[in-house]
Amino acid sequence: MDAKLLLIVIDGVPYRNFRRLFGNLEGWVDSDAARVWKHRSVLPSISAPCYASLHTGVSPAVHECTGNHAVFRLKQADVFSQVRAAGGVTGAVAHSFWSAFFNRAPFDPVRDIEYDEPQSGSINHGRFHTMEGYGLANQMTPSDADLFATLTRLCTRFDLNYGIYHSCTLDSMGHRFFHDCQEMDDACAKMDQMLAPYIIKWRAAGYEVIVTADHGQDARGHHGGRDPLQQETALYYFGEADGPDPDTVIDQLQLAPTILSRLGAPIAATMQAPVFLT
Ligand SMILES: [Zn+2]
């Protein structure tokens, strides 16, 4: 496999926060270096079911993850397994749910906090965090600057074909402070400025890059239902492919088959949604 792609999932960013507060991403849209669409999550618009759907291309009604309490090794094929089947190298810097869903469960912190497993049929190079102890007054989230550096290190050391990034910083900020406040303005601006230099590095290293979220959040920081603020986020794409019209809404189930298509890996029979980048 020659193609390379990184999927950057910034947890819990509503469409309006991406478009109003991420100045570097929006500047690249203006300069035609990136394209942006609205991206609608599956229902429920809860983190764990959304991660599972993002990476398997099937709905929660099919994969049966119904909430953050229901984390288990999924049965369906996913992006990692399909990239491995095509000979690609995979990596992940993410919350531990991603390891449990797509590699092995339950998550054992000593065994699974970091691993390098070249023969794996799933995640070859994983670096995970649990947020154990998370609560309203204590986010327990690592710095995104550290995590972006870790992903970049994996790319350079192991020549990843596919890597995923995921962190809950902004989701936690939204639950804690809501959205019409200085704290959230500042947190989004800092995230944009931490991310931007790495997008330049990743593009220079030959990666296509997708930046999106798993779901949005409403004015009270809630998500889970059908409210557009809860369900809708943005999706930015950096790469050479053609995409749909600007007003198209990307369905979350389209992510997995589209990523595999970009990488030249086989799309699993269970991934029925149409590819949106050609
Ligand atoms: Zn989430």
Residue 166 CA, ligand 1 centroid: distance in Å: 10
Looking at residue 197, its amino acid is P
Q: If you measure from the C-alpha of residue 88 to the centroid of ligand 1, how many angstroms do you get, rounded to a whole number?
A: 27
Structure tokens at 25: 């991403």
DSSP state string for 133-192: T-BTTB--PPPHHHHHHHHHHHHHHH--SEEEEEE-HHHHHHHHH-SSSHHHHHHHHHHH
Q: How far is the CA of 11 from the centre of ligand 1 (A)?
A: 5
Question: How many angstroms is it from 1 CA to the middle of ligand 1?
Answer: 31
How far are the Cα atoms of 67, 142, 228 from residue 14, in angstroms, in the given order?
19, 21, 9
Q: How far is the CA of 107 from the centre of ligand 1 (A)?
A: 18
What's the 217 CA to ligand 1 centre distance in angstroms?
9
How high is the pLDDT of residue 189?
Answer: 98
* Residue 116: burial class (beta carbons within 10 Å; 0-12, 13-18, 19+): middle
d(CA 131, CA 90): 23
Cα–ligand 1 centroid distance for 117 (angstroms):
27
Ligand 1 midpoint to CA 87 (Å): 30
For residue 79, give the 3-state DSSP assignment: helix
| Ligand 1 centroid from CA 170, angstroms | 9
The residues that bridge with 31 in the sheet, in sequence order, are none
Q: How far is the centre of ligand 1, averaged over its atoms, from the C-alpha of 204 (Å)?
A: 29
Ligand 1 centroid distance, CA of 46 (Å): 6
Instruction: Specify the pLDDT at position 112.
Output: 98
Interval between CA 7 and ligand 1 midpoint (Å): 15
Joined together, the tokens standing for residue 161 give 């074909």
- Rounded to the nearest whole angstrom, what is the distance from the C-alpha of residue 124 to the centroid of ligand 1? 24
Q: How far is the CA of 159 from the centre of ligand 1 (A)?
A: 28
CA 167 – ligand 1 centroid, Å: 9
pLDDT of the residue at 245: 98
C-alpha of residue 171 to centroid of ligand 1, in Å: 6
What gap in Å lies between CA 162 and CA 259, rounded to an integer?
A: 9
What's this model's pTM, rounded to 2 decimal places? 0.98
Host H or E run for residue 53: helix 47-56
Q: What is the pLDDT of residue 210?
A: 99
pLDDT by 10s per residue, the chain, length 278:
999 999 999 999 999 999 999 999 999 999 999 999 999 999 999 999 999 999 999 999 999 999 999 999 999 999 999 999 999 999 999 999 999 999 999 999 999 999 999 999 999 999 999 999 999 999 999 999 999 999 999 999 999 999 999 999 999 999 999 999 999 999 999 999 999 999 999 999 999 999 999 999 999 999 999 999 999 999 999 999 999 999 999 999 999 999 999 999 999 999 999 999 99
The token duo for 173 is 């900020």
Inter-CA distances, 262 with 18, 154, 170, 176, 237, Å: 24, 20, 28, 37, 12
